[in-house]
A and B are shown apart, each in its own frame.
Chain A
Amino acid sequence: DARVTQTPRHKVTEMGQEVTMRCQPILGHNTVFWYRQTMMQGLELLAYFRNRAPLDDSGMPKDRFSAEMPDATLATLKIQPSEPRDSAVYFCASGLAMTGVGRNEQFFGPGTRLTVL
């Protein structure tokens, strides 16, 4: 049963610390998305990749957030330094995007619940 996995599932840290969240997309998927979910803003897209190349990171605060795909099986989202307002659930999703086909199903991981004190 193919699934998106995320680690850690929960993270509590202090303001100013670096936080790294990891995601393993479903094998064979060529798009990876990072979302943030809060009660205030709902589900927000932070960044996404196709074939490991960043396509759009306009939703991500550039001064402290960075997203990378070191290889096809790993996506990372880093926050440095973290702030209390970064507290949220961060979801990774992957999909198989095919050019010219208007289908874009995304499969979500279980999320990382981040608390910054």
Chain B
Amino acid sequence: GESVGLHLPTLSVQEGDNSIINCAYSNSASDYFIWYKQESGKGPQFIIDIRSNMDKRQGQRVTVLLNKTVKHLSLQIAATQPGDSAVYFCAENYGGGSNYKLTFGKGTLLTVNP
């Protein structure tokens, strides 16, 4: 029978190339964003975060860009390695203060070809 499930966006890159993973978030009031990486059989792992008062933040080999005008978030991975192959999720938090919930996107599957 036909398998029905999430049709994850996929991105396939060559080892050494730069990767850009995009995310459209839903709530214009969101003030905090996180990128998570989930490898097969494991829980999501924090990569990098950014607050809404910033438009760019850099980590080790990763950069997050935030465009609040169009509610868009991107994750750039430099010199992509096979170990970067995973599903990447963006997550947003809104309400600050006493709201500690994160709303996760559907994810993007990144495949790095050696």
- Contact between B101 and A48, CB atoms less than 8 A apart: yes
- Contact between B100 and A48, CB atoms less than 8 A apart: yes
- Contact between A50 and B43, CB atoms less than 8 A apart: no
What is the total of A-B residue contacts with beta carbons within 8 Å? 66
Number of interface residues of A (CB under 8 A): 29
- Contact between A42 and B49, CB atoms less than 8 A apart: no
Q: What separation, in Å, do the CA atoms of A47 and B29 have in the docked complex?
A: 22
Q: How close is B57's CB to chain A, nearest CB, in angstroms?
A: 12
Within 8 A of A (CB), among B70-112: 89, 93, 96-98, 100-107
**Residues of B contacting A: mostly:** loop
A55 within 8 A of partner (CB): yes
Chain A residues with Cβ below 8 Å from B107 are 42-43
- Contact between A45 and B43, CB atoms less than 8 A apart: no
Chain A positions within 8 Å of B, measured between CB atoms, are 4, 31, 33, 39-43, 45, 48, 50, 55-56, 91, 93, 95, 97, 99-100, 102-111
Chain B positions within 8 Å of A, measured between CB atoms, are 4-6, 31-32, 34, 36, 42-46, 49, 51-52, 89, 93, 96-98, 100-107
